[in-house]
Amino acid sequence: MATAEPTRADDADPGPGHGPRIRVPAPRSEDMRGMYGTDTDRAQPSERANSDRTSRAQAAFLALRERMLRHPVLSVTALAGVLHIVWFFTFANSGGDLAAQDAWAEFVGQHPDSAYNLAWYGGMHPVSYSVVSPYLMAVLGVRTTMMIAGTASAGLLTMILIRSRSVQNPLWASLAGLFAFLCNAVSGRVTFGLGTMFALGAVATVFCWPYKWRYKRWAKALCTAPLAALATMSSPVAGLFVGLVAVALFLQKRRPGAWALGLTPAAVVAVSAWLFPFSGTQPMTIWSVILPFLYAVLTFVLVPKKWTTVRLTSAVYGLSVLAVWVVSSQIGSNITRLAMLFAGVTLVAALPFTVPRSRKWYVTVLAFVGFVVWIGIKSVDDIIHTSPAASWARELAPLVNELQGVGAEKGRVEVVPARSHREASALA
């Protein structure tokens, strides 16, 4: 209902000419400026346009943030898929670790029933490299496998963080993990990425098991054990990391989860070493030890003390890094990959538990910045030094034709390795 201001006093007589009139005050200068504007307002439409664009951008950002918070697993998974597609069209070259994946996928595609690959350096069983990865890459494609594995890993990690009641900022922690998965893709570690996907699935089964099924331990074990086995069959390095989590659970006397995670990886390694023996060592210098060990210590010190599983896993991992450095083995520098994937996640997740602007807060922030610089520089270095030279595309066909002309496929030809390892897929 509309109302109007009175024009007479309450005690005035009715009629047009009697009683004191209420004077309506003249408009103030502020009101006049509000009604008609000023010369300055009319002279600066560009500033108002910029302000409108800024407000619209802020509104769009807030809407996107609200949507991501409402569906975090789906949002992070979709973002991971988009970023891996960008990786496919930009940095997925044919050198580095991708050359090895291409070589194994091509060999398995041409000789699926062969138990030995004579073309891979001195000769090697495919099982010694990976039981699952070469065959899956031959069917799906090397880069497609990487995109699927990286995208699914980001979604699984987000689900683990959300289902954990201790993590207060699961979205930011999952974005730190997504950055690490993307750097892993840039480095071309498809086999390890596939194993990591199954490893995260096994860990998610243990820690995200539905509460209403909490007494169905056999069902949990039957779901966890095959995923842990698939992680090891895809990548023995990923299986090793599952074993570290199993050791941490065992030390807490959480035996069902420890057995479910630890038994099948150990069985896969034992059977493959027995049926398909393999010798050799992976080098590891002191420079490959410093940062992984440092971040294991930082994780142990900076995360809340009640995060027992995280702290025990970091402690066991730090000791394992030292042991692998002291004792030469086939693991070698591969053990650095766990810190390169999950150290940033734990640091971001631990940040809300520190007092802002305190010494511990600054150490956590600096540690995370150092982590980003570490894996960022490593990824850029992989891009620079694994991109094949143009001569591999221009001069390769005449060389292959000459080798085929003299029947080189009937014997063994030694090739001097290039820095990009392009010969692994080009001539193997």
- How long, in residues, is the chain? 428
Which domain, by its residues, includes 168?
70-387
The segment with the largest mean pLDDT, out of 116-125, 208-217, 361-370, is 361-370
Q: What percent of the chain has pLDDT over 70?
A: 80
Calculate mean pLDDT across residues 16-34.
Answer: 47
Q: What percent of the chain has pLDDT over 90?
A: 52
Cβ atoms of 310 and 299 closer than 8 Å: yes
pLDDT of residue 22: 43
pLDDT tens-digit profile of 61-99? 777 777 767 788 999 999 999 999 999 998 887 777 888
Q: Would residue 418 count as lying in a domain?
A: no
DSSP codes, 358-394: SHHHHHHHHHHHHHHHHHHHHHHHHHHHHSPPHHHHH
Cβ atoms of 296 and 318 closer than 8 Å: yes
Q: Would residue 169 count as lying in a domain?
A: yes
**169 vs 69: CA distance, rounded Å:** 10
CA distances from 427 to 107, 168, 251, 423 (A): 11, 51, 48, 5
pLDDT of residue 170: 92
Give me the amino acid identity at 270: A
Q: Would residue 25 count as lying in a domain?
A: no
Q: Between residues 297 and 48, which one has the greater pLDDT?
A: 297
pLDDT of residue 420: 58
Residue 425 has pLDDT above 70, yes or no: no
pLDDT of residue 298: 97
* 267 CB neighbour count, 10 Å cutoff: 14
pLDDT of residue 198: 97
| pTM for the model | 0.80
Residue 222 has pLDDT above 80, yes or no: yes
Which pLDDT band holds residue 384 (cuts at 50, 70, 90)? confident
Residue 24 has pLDDT above 50, yes or no: no
Q: Would residue 417 count as lying in a domain?
A: no
Q: Would residue 58 count as lying in a domain?
A: no
pLDDT tens-digit profile of 320-331? 999 999 998 889
pLDDT of residue 424: 61
With a CB cutoff of 8 Å and minimum separation 6, the contacts of 375 are 179, 180, 183, 340, 344
Calculate mean pLDDT across residues 337-352.
Answer: 95
pLDDT of residue 151: 97
The upper half-sphere exposure of residue 186, i.e. CA atoms within 13 Å in the direction of its Cβ, equals 22
Residue 47 has pLDDT above 70, yes or no: no
pLDDT tens-digit profile of 128-181? 889 999 999 999 999 999 999 999 999 999 999 999 888 999 999 999 999 999
Residue 295 has pLDDT above 50, yes or no: yes
Helical segments of 276-428, H only: 287-302, 308-326, 337-350, 359-386, 390-394, 396-405, 423-426
pLDDT of residue 387: 65
Which pLDDT band holds residue 402 (cuts at 50, 70, 90)? confident
Burial of residue 269, with CB atoms counted within 10 A of its CB: 0-12 exposed, 13-18 middle, 19 or more buried: middle
Calculate mean pLDDT across residues 32-56.
Answer: 57
Burial of residue 40, with CB atoms counted within 10 A of its CB: 0-12 exposed, 13-18 middle, 19 or more buried: exposed
Cβ atoms of 199 and 234 closer than 8 Å: no
Q: Would residue 181 count as lying in a domain?
A: yes
Calculate mean pLDDT across residues 6-10.
Answer: 44
Q: Which helix (H) or strand (E) holds 206?
A: helix 190-207
Give me the amino acid identity at 267: A
19 DSSP 8-state letter:
S
Flag the least confident range among 276-285, 305-314, 371-380. Answer: 276-285
Calculate mean pLDDT across residues 289-313.
Answer: 96
Calculate mean pLDDT across residues 248-273.
Answer: 93
Q: Would residue 331 count as lying in a domain?
A: yes
What's the number of domains the chain is made of?
Answer: 1
Q: Would residue 124 count as lying in a domain?
A: yes
pLDDT of residue 277: 83
